[in-house]
Amino acid sequence: MSKIHVTTTINGDPVDFLCDGGESLLDVLRDRLGMTGSKEGCGTGDCGACSITVDGRLVCSCLMLGAEAEGREIATIEGMADGETLHPLQRKFIEHAALQCGICTPGILVAAQSLLERNPDPTEEETRYWLAGNLCRCTGYDKIIRAVLDAAKDMREAS
Amino acid sequence: MQYHAPTSVDDALRLLAAENGNCQILAGGTDLLVRLRSEMGDDPESILDIKRIDDLRAITPEAGGWRIGAAVSGAEMSEHAGLVADWPGVVEAMNLIGSTQIQGRATLAGNLCNASPAADSVPAMVAAGAMARIAGPDGARDIPVAEVPTAPGRTSLDKAEFITSIHLPARPERGGDAYLRFIPRTEMDIAVVGCGVALTLDEAGICNAARVSLGAVGPVVMLVEAGAEALIGTPLDDAALDALAAVCSEAASPIDDKRGTVAFRTHVAGVLARRAASIAKTRAGGAS
Amino acid sequence: MALDSKTGTAPRDFKIIGTRPARPDGIDKVTGRARFGADMSAPGMLVGRVLRSPHAHARIKSIDSSAAEALSGVHAVVTRADFSAPGEDVADILDNCMAGEKALYDGHAVAAVAAASAAVARQALKLIKVEYEPLPHVTDVDAAMATGAPALHEGRANETVPEGHSPNVMARHAFGHGDIDAGLAQADRVLERSYRTEATHQGYIEPHACLASMGPDGQADLWCCTQGHYMVRNTCAAILGITQGQLRVTASEIGGGFGGKTTVFLEPVALMLAKKTGRPVKMVMSRAEVLRATGPTSSSSVDIRLGMTSEGRITAAFAELRYQGGAYPGAPVDMGAMSAFAPYDLEHVRTIGWDVVTNRPKAAAYRAPGAPMAAFAVESAIDELARDLGLDPLEVRLKNAAREGTRASYGPTYPAIGLEATLRTARDHPHWSAPLGPNQGRGVACGFWFNFGGDTCVSLNITPDGTVNLSEGNPDIGGSRASMSMMAAEELGVPYDKVRTVIADTGALGQNEVTDGSRVTFAVGLATIEAARAAKREMCKRAAQVWGIDEEAVIWEDGAARPSGPNAGEHPPMTLAEIAAIASNTGGPIAGHHEVNAEGAGVSFATHMVDTEVDPETGAVKVLRYTVFQDAGKAVHPSYVEGQFQGGAVQGIGWALNEEYIYDDDGILQNAGFLDYRIPVASDLPMIDAVILEIPNPGHPYGVRGVGETSIVPPLAAIANAVSASIGARMNDLPMSPPKVLAAIQAR
């Protein structure tokens, strides 16, 4: 079984790796590149814990082949903070206690960031529908939604 | 497993022919990768990714309507103002599939060729009169979308063929379309019943053309001709909509499964048809 | 030297308790740095995968793994034959982890492989030949109790089960006092109803995962996501025949548990594979495996008989509860039977619980195990009777509410409890009087959980620069490290960020009960406070030494040792940091520790209120508004208390409306994925308002009560009552999926 050589960009860094034809990008990130921030909760695109963006588009990395990353710009949770400086969403999640166990948190942060890039002033309903593909079992979503709306407000005021 | 990413339709066809039936087409991957990873799943010898073929990523105006490349995602469709204005029902149907993440990848052609009886985009495409363009060794051919799925999980396509685009016709004057589905939660579920309605009104507000399509209530999507008959020639008043509902319940032939019962699906088919027709009427400029 | 006694509950001005500081693991979790069960790897690691039975019930006649073992890249295959006979207390657990004579449910593990890659492991599983003799199966609890039902085990019923019952009936529990018939005779209205609920899964987003290694000398290391790594250590040691000291278990961060990770599934198998191969073995479950082969909760069939006067006083309360706990005894029907009528002051009350086995995966705990289904039946019955009599549902509950001094239906007499406070607060809350529109209804229900204490060790160690290292043994499932740091900081009088709480591995402390029973903030908190008090005593001793005065003349106040009393003399206070800096010169490093089997956990009561709207043409239910009123005793970190209220309520919403295990006629699970096992998504829900009440628990120095479990107990009935009010017909069968609601509407 010969492997595919993929050259791509992850969180702004040039990266290349070898992978099998049928290997998912999530498996590549976690098992070949050691980037375990994206999680596998279901493997079927139903939970969103593996969320990343590809060329700015929010997707489930469990439903993408590693080979498809060729030439693309991948962004994962590991690239959300700017060095020591947390993204406002990350800060607000801690402030609002918008996480309990934290397993869904990376996926939700990536998804929320994608929302706010497109819609800096979402309503509660828009936020809930955008995040419907990110399952959380601990929080009941209440504090998550509050954190996202509060981060959006901060980001609007800062810009 | 081999991975191919050709950059032209001709290269893709050559590869398909060479693989001799053991090759799966990859567009958005939201169905294919689930099948690959499942225990009883597919084990193809190779995967052919069509997303590097530039033509297949485009939405282009054609004959007053729109040609949507097979690699265009639902999210891209929803960002295309012209498409949304002309066929909001088709776009909303596509964007009901799964989550934001799924819509970032899923495609019309993929949804169609997965051939689930409950596929969301298909009733809307059928109601709109969409045509699928199929590339094969003998050239390209166009067929109505409804002729693609033949049974759950099966299509009429030959293994050496694939869909390169979907064409939506020009939106008629005073035309409107809508798609509704029933699911137990608010998102993320497979449709228990789906209904797509496209209709046009004359200057007096009387319906002069209609297509009504039901999903998830039979082995493949169904075009309910009697539904159109119940609407044509009427002002789409309560009586007409009641008749439509009754006809659709009658036409539905669902099964009992983990997502719904026969009785439930039969009843809700009628309810959704009425509601979808009302929305289509409003979009066509009719009085609500 | 005067320090607080253990059980002081006089109100005090807390400086840190009750505030909302950032949790210590927050940054790791928002950046993706935190390491969960599947995030660890080791050099030379192999991938382990499990072969599972495709039959609901079958005799395993033979297993031929030769072809699998011959496959290049396969290092070992393990079956039950590799395990020696276990002790009685782990026999069922081992059988559940690796089937012996019979496969007892669809998905039951029958063999496992360790291979060089996931792809090879997957291929190897297909090469293992298992010869099954399929047997008749049963998945329904009432069918399993019937004469002639297919029997899973023979002769395992305990002495509480009368003669003549199906061999699937494992135990009968009975609680209560008084005379039901006498009570019913006093009633103006008697209700007899039956209720059914389906099995549900805890639904944690993180699948089970572990990484095991074992050397030829029997020393073993295990990394796993678990609610109790000491339990994992003890259970795996017993199963593998090694001592607890030989196995060191490290708990990863855990991506949800809710009780489902208070037992083992993969861990003994991974250790056995590691032993056989001499290599580290990593095992991670798929979502389908989690649903098929871990521990959902019981489905239930409950009969209620309730008598009420026309003024709303309950005169008799009877419940018969039948729960199936999967393929082994131990359904939580005893706790269901004990908790069912716990909120009420009753002269005549009786509950009978039947523990039944079926061909389903072995049930594990799920947040207040056994209580939600019982409360569904009881609270629905009370609601129905109240409405029939034209009475206000909250007033009826107030009229019958248990209070301090009430003899509980399950035996003990209540100390100070918060039930009436939650009911009155609910009644006076704007939600109760908010107007409702067409097709909308409002429901209320009460709930209770015992809360537990259990074995706990805490070690508090002070560094030379005055940082406080707190080592405890309970995996943090909801933010408890923050609460421990807060309690230590409060007790020591130092800033919160001077305390660092870590979950120590099993080599560091002796024994800790799992993170369950809503016990951590209570028991680990109590032990933390005692450990801090011990450290304070030691620091006072050091200060006394420096000042040349008696220990008794030194007190600890505001983060420093101070001279106190007429003969103490004048000495400037010594802060914790100052004493720490000279610890070496005054006898050595400073620490405090505490070990206890904690008792004195306080029960927690709640009232939930919910508004629903039902689409009359489709039966779809929308939750419009939800308010939780619950007694926390003392909320150490209010955000995390609110989080427990909200999380439990939403799990209850899922259980009430959409979640269920669906089996076909062959006993095969039909919905082993998040697509068709439908947990609530963000767009399904409104904000969940959380109202914290504080009626202090006298058994904890700060008054803390556990809160994590009570919150899942009321929602099933609260929503059923709301839906019933929305449509004008009772819903007695969960989940209230749209086809059932529509059928109820059409049958009106």
Any chain B CB within 8 A of the CB of C675? yes
Q: Using pLDDT thresholds of 50, 70 and 90, give the confidence band for residue C216.
A: confident
For residues C239 and C378, membership in a common domain is answered with: no
Q: Could you tell me if C73 and C213 lie in one domain? A: yes
Per the DSSP assignment, residues forming a β-bridge with C193 are C304
Q: What is the three-class DSSP state of C256?
A: coil
The total number of structural domains that make up chain C: 3
- Is pLDDT above 70 for C9? no
DSSP state of B36: H
Q: How far is CA A16 from CA A7, A23, A77, B226, C162, in A?
A: 4, 15, 19, 58, 69
Residue C733 and residue C612 share a domain: yes
Q: Is residue C148 part of a domain?
A: no
Q: What is the pLDDT of residue A1?
A: 60
Chain C touched by B60 (CB under 8 Å): no
Whether the CB-CB separation of A8 and A70 falls below 8 Å is answered with: yes
* CA angle in degrees (0–180, nearest 5) for B196-B201-B206: 115
Is residue C373 very low, low, confident or very high in pLDDT (cuts 50, 70, 90)? very high
Give tens-digit pLDDT for C263-279.
999 999 999 999 999 99
Please list every residue in chain B whose beta carbon sits closer than 8 Å to the beta carbon of residue A24.
33, 37
What average pLDDT does range A69-75 have in this prediction? 98
Give the C-alpha separation, B8 to B10, whole Å.
5
CB-based contact, C739 to chain B, within 8 Å: yes
Report the pLDDT value the prediction gives residue C701, as an integer from 0 to 100. Answer: 92
Whether C6 has a pLDDT exceeding 70, the answer reads no
| Confidence tier at C2 by pLDDT (50, 70, 90) | very low
Mean pLDDT of all residues in A91-104:
97
| A78 closest CB neighbour out of C32, C36, C206 | C32
Q: Give CB contacts under 8 A, 24+ apart, made by C150-155.
A: C150/C57, C150/C359, C152/C57, C152/C102, C152/C104, C152/C327, C152/C357, C152/C358, C152/C359, C153/C357
Does residue C682 contact residue A144 with C-beta atoms inside 8 Å? yes
- CA-to-CA distance for C349 and C334, rounded, in angstroms? 15
* Shortest CA gap C622–chain B (Å): 9
Domain contains C65: yes
> Is the pTM here over 0.90, yes or no?
yes
Domain end among C284, C311, C346: C284
What Cα–Cα distance (Å) separates residue C141 from each residue in A43, A154, C120? 32, 54, 40
Residue C5: the pLDDT is 43
What are the structure tokens assigned to A88, written together?
Answer: 């406002």
Residue C272 sits in the same domain as residue C246 = yes
Q: Which residues contact C267 (CB under 8 A, 6 or more apart)?
A: C97, C210, C212, C222, C224, C226, C232, C235, C236
Give chain B's radius of gyration (CA, Å): 19
**C291 is a domain residue:** no
Q: State how far the Cα of C273 lies from the Cα of C113, in Å rounded to an integer.
A: 7
Q: Which domain holds residue C76?
A: 45-135+208-284
Does the pLDDT of residue C483 top 60, yes or no? yes
Residue C541 token pair? 């001793």
Cβ neighbours of B47 in A, within 8 Å: 21-22, 65
> Which residues of chain A make contact with C22, given a CB cutoff of 8 A?
94-95
The answer to whether residue C142 scores a pLDDT higher than 70 is: yes
Q: Are residues C554 and C498 in the same domain?
A: yes
Q: Are residues C7 and C699 in contact, defined by beta-carbon separation less than 8 angstroms?
A: yes
- With a CB cutoff of 8 Å and minimum separation 6, the contacts of C169 are C145, C157, C161, C354, C355, C356
Contact state of C30 with A94 under an 8 Å Cβ cutoff: yes
CA distance C351 to C657: 27
| Residue among A103, A109, A140 whose CB faces C647 most closely | A140
- C49 CA: distance to closest CA in chain B (Å): 12
**C173, part of any domain:** no
Q: In terms of Cα–Cα distance, which of B69, B70, B68, B74 is closest to B103?
A: B74
Give Cβ neighbours of residue A155 (< 8 Å, ≥ 6 apart): A88, A116, A120
Sorted by where each begins, the domain ranges of chain A are: 4-79, 88-158
**CA distance linking residue C451 with residue C429, whole number of Å:** 27
Q: How far apart are CA C243 and CA C264, in angstroms?
A: 17
Query: By percentage, how much of chain C surpasses pLDDT 90?
Result: 96
Interface contact B193, partner C, CB < 8 A = no
What ipTM, to 2 d.p.? 0.98
Kindly report the CATH number assigned to the domain that includes residue C395: 3.30.365.10
Residues of C with CB below 8 A from B241's CB?
none
Same domain, C359 and C476: no
Strands C688-693 and C621-631: parallel
Pairwise CB contact (< 8 Å): A67 & B49: yes
Residues of C in contact with A78 (CB under 8 A): 31-32
pLDDT band of residue C11 (cuts 50, 70, 90) is: low
Collect all residues with Cβ–Cβ distance below 8 Å to C330 and sequence separation of at least 6.
C92, C170, C355, C362, C363
Based on the fold, state whether residues C629 and C499 are members of the same structural domain.
no
- Residue where one domain finishes, among candidates C249, C284, C319: C284
Residues 239-258 of C with CB under 8 A from A: 253-258
d(CA C221, CA C212): 6
The CATH number given to whatever domain includes residue C223 is 3.90.1170.50
Subunits with 3+ C-beta pairs closer than 8 A to C:
A, B
| Interface with chain A: mutation pick from C254, C622, C681, C719, highest number of A CBs within 10 Å | C681
Yes or no, beta carbons of A143 and C119 under 8 Å apart: no
**What is the Cβ-side half-sphere exposure of residue C676, based on CA atoms within 13 angstroms?**
15
Residues C447 and C465 in one domain: no
Identify the CA nearest to C688 among candidates B187, B182, A128, B189.
Answer: A128
What chains are in contact with A, requiring at least 3 Cβ pairs below 8 Å? B, C
**Cβ atoms of residues B190 and B118 within 8 Å:** yes
Residue C577 shares a structural domain with residue C561: yes
Asked if residue C162 belongs to a domain, the reply is no
Q: How far apart are CA B25 and CA B42, in angstroms?
A: 12
The Cα of C105 is separated from the nearest Cα of chain B by a number of Å equal to 18
List C114's β-bridge partners, or say none. C48, C76
User: Distance (Å) from the C-alpha of residue B16 to the closest C-alpha of chain A?
Assistant: 16
pLDDT in tens, A77-94: 999 999 999 999 999 999
- For residue A11, the chain C residues in CB contact (below 8 A) are none
Q: Determine whether the interchain pair A133/B1 forms a contact, defined as Cβ–Cβ distance below 8 Å.
A: no
Dihedral pair phi/psi, residue C252, rounded to 5°: -75, 175
A143 contacts in C (CB within 8 Å)? Answer: 639, 642-643, 646
- Residue C671 in contact with partner chain A when CB distance is under 8 A: no
- Per-residue pLDDT, averaged over C473-495, amounts to 95
CATH 1.10.150.120 is right for the domain spanning A88-158: yes
Smallest Cβ–Cβ distance between B264 and the set C662, C678, C739 belongs to C739
Say whether both C69 and C115 belong to one domain: yes
Distance, in Å, from the CA atom of B145 to the CA atom of B149, rounded to the nearest integer, reads 8
B partners (3+ CB pairs within 8 A) are A, C
Q: Average pLDDT in the C396-410 region?
A: 97
Residues of chain B with pLDDT under 50: none
Residue appearing with tokens 């069912």: C340
Q: Are C321 and C300 in contact (CB under 8 A)?
A: yes
Per-residue confidence (pLDDT) for residue C568, from 0 to 100: 86
- The residue of chain A with its CA nearest to that of C649 is A140
Q: For the range C555-560, what are the long-range contacts, defined as Cβ-Cβ under 8 Å and sequence gap of 24 or more? A: C555/C1, C555/C2, C556/C3, C556/C492, C556/C493, C557/C493, C558/C493, C559/C492, C559/C493, C559/C494, C560/C493
Let me know: does C549 contact C566? Beta carbons within 8 Å.
no
pLDDT of residue C1 exceeding 70, the answer is: no
Closest-CA residue in chain A for C637? Answer: A97
Residues in chain A with CB shorter than 8 Å from the CB of B46 are: 21
Tell me the chain C residues in contact with residue A150 when contact means C-beta distances shorter than 8 Å. none
For residue B270, the chain C residue with the least C-alpha distance is C617
| Closest CB to B258 among C657, C662, C742 | C662
Provide the pLDDT for residue B286: 83
Is C687 touching A (CB cutoff 8 A)?
A: yes
- Say whether both C17 and C93 belong to one domain: no
pLDDT of A144 above 60:
yes
Topology annotation, domain A4-79: Ubiquitin-like (UB roll) (3.10.20)
CB contact under 8 A, A59 and B98: no
Q: In this predicted model, what pLDDT tens digit does every residue of C333-367 receive, in sequence order?
A: 999 999 999 999 999 999 999 999 999 999 999 99
Other CB atoms closer than 10 Å to residue C465's CB: what's the count?
9
Q: Looking up tokens 């034209």, which residue turns up?
A: C390
Is B187 part of the contact surface with chain C (CB cutoff 8 Å)? yes
Same domain, C626 and C527: no
Q: Is the pLDDT reported for residue C10 higher than 60?
A: no
What residue type is C350 in one-letter code? R
Which residues on neighbouring strands pair with residue C111, listed in sequence order?
Answer: C51
Contacts of A60 in chain B (CB under 8 A): 30, 99, 101-102, 105
Q: Which residues of C touch A27 (CB under 8 A)?
A: 118
Residue of C nearest to B181 (CA): C618
**CB-CB neighbors (< 8 A) of A145 in chain C:** 682, 687
What is the rounded distance in angstroms from the CA atom of residue B250 to the CA atom of residue C665? 29
Count other Cβ atoms within 10 Å, centred on residue C200: 27
| Residue among C163, C181, C268 at smallest CA distance from C222 | C268
Of B33, B47, B188, the CB nearest to A63: B33
CA distance C690 to C683: 19
Residues 6+ apart with CB under 8 A from A14: A7, A8
Probe site for chain B from C123, C290, C614, C617 (most B CB atoms < 10 A): C617
The answer to whether B179 and B96 are in contact (CB under 8 A) is yes
Q: What is the pLDDT of residues B30-43, one digit of tens each?
A: 999 999 988 767 78
Residue C479 is nearest to which of A36, A97, A127, comparing CB atoms? A97
**Burial category of B11 from C-beta neighbours within 10 Å (exposed 0-12, middle 13-18, buried 19 and up):** middle
Check CB contact under 8 Å for C670 and B258.
yes
Distance CA A125, CA C308 (A): 43
Which residues of chain B from 233 to 272 reach within 8 Å of chain C, CB to CB? 258-261, 263-264, 267-268, 271
Closest CA to C592 of C522, C536, C552: C536
Partners of C103 in the β-ladder: C58
pLDDT at B212: 98
User: Which amino acid, C14?
Assistant: F
Whether residue C174 is contained in a domain is answered as no
The answer to whether C742 contacts chain B (CB < 8 Å) is yes
Cβ count near C199 (within 10 Å): 28
Chain B residue with CA closest to A42: the answer is B34
